[in-house]
Each structure stands twice: as C-alpha cells, then as structure tokens.
C-alpha cells in the first residue's frame, strides 16, 4: 500500500508556498540576505516547531518569511517545492501566496509574483507539472489593506486564478471581507477561504454565502453541525483538508480521531493537502501515509481523493478529464 500511495498521481489544492520554506533553505537565504536568525542551525529551528495552536505557528511562519527578499529567493522557494512535487508524483498544484507578508516589509508585489511564477513556468516546461496561483489576503489585516492588495493582483490577472483568505481565523470572520471578495469576483477571480479550521462551523456557511467560495480550505469543523455536513454534500462543496497540519495545530488530538475518512465515506468532496509542509512534517505523500496508517483506506478511496481534487481544481474540463484518465489507468494497473 505504501508503494501504491507513493506512486499515486496527486493533485494539491492547499499549500502556502511560504510554508514550504524548509529550515535549510531558510538558513541559506538568511545568509545570502545578511539577516540574523535567533537559531544557530536548521536543526535547532526545526526543534522549535512545536505548536499549541494556529497563532503560535503563524508567529514562526511570518518570521521565516522575512528571509525572502529578492525575486531569486521566491524562485528558489517555489522551485524547491516543485522538486518535491516531482518526487511525489504531484501532477497539478494550486499554490497560495501571502503578498501582504512581503509588501508590508517593503518588498514589491511584482517581485513576489515574478519569482514564484517563473518557477511555475519552468515546472511546466521541465517536468510537465501544471499549476495555478492563488493570492491570499491576511484576515488579521484591514479590509482597506485587502482592497489595496486586490488592486495589485488585478494587474497580474493573467497569472493569478483566485483569491483566498488565511491567517488568524478567530476574531476575523468571513463577513469582514465580503465587499473585497465581491469585488474580486467582479474582476473575474475565483474565490476560496480558510474556514472552520479553528473557527466555528458558521464561518463555513458565511464563506459560502458571503464570499461566494468555490472551495472551503480546511472546513473540518463542519461536523459540529449535521445540517451543515448535509448541505456541503448536497452542494458538492469541496474541502481542502490538511491532516498533518490539523494534528500539529491541535485541531484534532490524534490522527485516529480525524474526521476526514468519515467525511469521505459520507460522500463529501474531501481532498488531502499539505498546508505548510516544512512546518508540519511532510508533503502530499507523508499526509496520505499518515492518514492511511491511522485510518486505513481502500485503493479506490485513496484514488477518490485525487479524483475529488481534480474535480475541485480550477483547470479546464478537458484537463480534468485528462488527469482523471491518468488516475483511472493507475488504479486499473495497480488494483491487486
């Protein structure tokens, strides 16, 4: 089964590129950019990755992002993630980036986009890995700041497929950004939002009704309301679930208590994703292996996770069909 999981074609829909910054690359960038770090080695930094909740993670995540300065840094960051995708047979990925984390430090929006986008173009040319880019607003910042960021994104409409909403969920509900998201949809962006990770099930309802989202990022708190679970099934609303993240940030006490496999078997369109792989102990394969170890699935169920992600992605109908054929073929060839 381990071999089946490793070679299974995968699609990732919830990965923060800043969260793929491994301690070794972080140290290399700090040196290149003459930035002092409060840790003496990548190992001692990794030792500090023990989180009590979302906020304690975010504090370290934003600190790590401070080592990203030049276009080349954003390229190197993205390329390192793409190499993991290649190793793990990720055929398509939809990547979040947090421009405000960088523009608030005086880095140009264009610098961030240029570095990430060049790496994604090279990924397509060299490895045939397809991708889309999703810009996230930091929800702890103001509506006004989000509007300014949306204006910058509009200049890069050709490179950015959707807008999302991340950072501290508690105290910053979806309604704070309903006008920004309405404007984003008018501009032709798809929308997604983190909801029901640490925050209540109501945030999931509000993200759908007030923000017009095509997917819910996390959404695992939906099981607080049986009615909401039925509504998500009926609406075929995808959830981009991040199992290792949920354990590391204590959304669930252990993987065996995670609700993802229950939700899958109920018919919810759930997907498996890595969120911030450098901080939470792994990429797509590690997430799938960790879920399967605690909550064994059939090969068909594992393949269904990729099919769900393909159906939930922002690619053309023709490409969805092409990717699904790859998965069906893989399943047929490896069923026994």
Which spans of this chain sit near ligand HPA (rule: CB under 6 A)? 16, 19, 54, 61, 166-167, 194, 197, 245, 275-276
Question: Is the separation of the CB atoms in 210 and 178 below 8 Å?
Answer: yes
User: Is 16 labelled as part of a ligand binding site?
Assistant: yes
Q: Please report whether residue 12 would count as binding Zn ion according to CB under 5 A.
A: no
Phi-psi region of 194 (alpha: psi -120 to 50; beta: other; left: phi over 0): beta
Q: How far apart are the first and last CA of the chain?
A: 10
- Residue 133, SS3? strand
Tell me which of ligand HPA, Zn ion, none is bound by residue 19, counting a contact when its beta carbon lies within the kind-specific cut-off of 5 to 8 angstroms.
ligand HPA
On whether the CB atoms of residues 65 and 101 are closer than 8 A, the answer is yes
167's contact among ligand HPA, Zn ion, none, with CB below 5 to 8 A by partner kind, is ligand HPA
CA distance 61 to 48: 11
Closest CA to 274 of 1, 79, 18: 18
Distance CA 124, CA 121 (A): 5
Q: Write down the least CB distance from residue 125 to ligand HPA, Å.
A: 28
**Residues 149, 184 contacting (CB under 8 angstroms):** no
Q: How far is the CB of 156 from ligand HPA (least distance, A)?
A: 21
**Who contacts 81 (Cβ-Cβ below 8 Å, separation ≥6)?**
15, 17, 20, 95, 277
Q: Which residue is nearest to ligand HPA (CB)?
A: 166
Closer CB to Zn ion, residue 33 or residue 56? 56
Nearer to Zn ion, 76 or 98 (CB): 98
Half-sphere exposure of 38 (CA within 13 A, CB side): 6
Contact 216, 238 (CB under 8 A): yes
Among 12, 169, 197, 248, the active-site one is: 197
Instruction: Determine whether the annotation assigns residue 104 to a binding site.
Output: no
- Compute the least distance from the CB of residue 7 to ligand HPA, in Å: 28
Query: Considering beta carbons, is residue 167 or 304 the nearer one to ligand HPA?
Result: 167
Structure token digits, residue 238 = 């995808």
Nearest approach in angstroms of CB 254 to ligand HPA is 18
3-state secondary structure (DSSP) of residue 154: helix
Closest to ligand HPA by CB, 266 or 282: 282
| Distance from C-alpha of 131 to C-alpha of 196, rounded to nearest angstrom | 26
**Catalytic residue list contains 2:** no
Give the residue with the Cβ less far from ligand HPA, 88 or 101: 101
**Judged by CB, which is closer to ligand HPA: 104, or 121?**
104
Q: Is 236 left (phi over 0), alpha (psi -120 to 50) or beta?
A: left
Q: How far is the CB of 1 from ligand HPA (least distance, A)?
A: 28
Determine if residue 336 is labeled as part of a ligand binding site.
no
x-or-dash string of contact with Zn ion, 263-292, rule CB under 5 A: ------------x-----------------
Which partner from the list ligand HPA, Zn ion, none does 172 bind, CB cut-off 5 to 8 Å by kind? none
Q: Which of residues 202-231 bind Zn ion (CB under 5 A)?
A: none
Site string for Zn ion, 89-108 (x = CB under 5 A): --------------------
Cα gap 243→259, rounded to integer Å: 9
Q: What angle do CA 270, 271, 275 make, to 5 degrees?
A: 125
Task: Report the partner that residue 197 touches, choosing among Zn ion, ligand HPA, none (CB closer than 5 to 8 A by kind).
Answer: ligand HPA
What residues form DSSP beta bridges with 275? 15
- Taking the complex as a whole, the smallest distance from the CB of residue 18 to ligand HPA amounts, in Å, to 7
> Which amino acids are annotated as binding site for substrate, given as ranges?
276
Residues with a catalytic annotation lie at 197
Binding residues: 14, 16, 194, 275-276
List residues near Zn ion by CB under 5 A.
275
């Amino acid at each position: 089964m381990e071999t089946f999981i490793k070679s299974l074609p995968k699609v990732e829909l919830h990965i923060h590129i800043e969260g793929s910054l491994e301690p070794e690359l972080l140290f290399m960038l700090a040196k290149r950019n003459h930035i002092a770090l409060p840790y003496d080695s990548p190992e001692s930094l990794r030792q500090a990755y023990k989180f009590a909740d979302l906020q304690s993670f975010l504090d370290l995540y934003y600190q790590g992002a401070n080592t990203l300065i030049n276009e080349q840094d954003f390229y190197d960051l993205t390329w390192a993630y793409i190499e993991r995708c290649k190793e793990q047979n990720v055929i398509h990925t939809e990547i979040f980036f947090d421009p405000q984390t960088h523009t608030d430090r005086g880095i140009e929006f264009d610098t961030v986009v240029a570095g990430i986008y060049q790496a994604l173009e090279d990924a397509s040319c060299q490895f045939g890995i397809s991708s889309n880019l999703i810009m996230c607003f930091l929800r702890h910042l103001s509506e006004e700041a989000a509007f300014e960021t949306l204006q910058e994104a509009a200049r890069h409409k050709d490179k950015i497929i959707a807008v999302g909403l991340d950072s501290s969920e508690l105290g910053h509900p979806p309604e704070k950004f309903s006008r920004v998201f309405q404007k984003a949809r008018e501009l032709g962006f798809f929308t997604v939002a983190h909801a029901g990770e640490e925050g209540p099930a109501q945030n999931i309802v509000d993200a759908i009704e007030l923000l017009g989202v095509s997917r819910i990022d996390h959404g695992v708190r939906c099981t607080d309301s049986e009615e909401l679970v039925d509504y998500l099934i009926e609406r075929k609303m995808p959830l981009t679930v991040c199992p290792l993240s949920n354990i590391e940030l204590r959304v669930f006490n252990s993987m065996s208590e995670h609700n993802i496999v229950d939700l899958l078997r109920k018919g919810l369109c759930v997907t498996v994703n890595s969120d911030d792989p450098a901080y939470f102990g792994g990429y797509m394969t590690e997430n799938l292996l960790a879920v399967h170890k605690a909550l064994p699935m059939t090969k068909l169920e594992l393949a269904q996770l990729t099919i769900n992600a393909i159906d939930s992605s922002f690619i053309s109908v023709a490409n969805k069909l092409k990717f699904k054929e790859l998965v069906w073929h893989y399943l047929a060839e490896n069923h026994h």
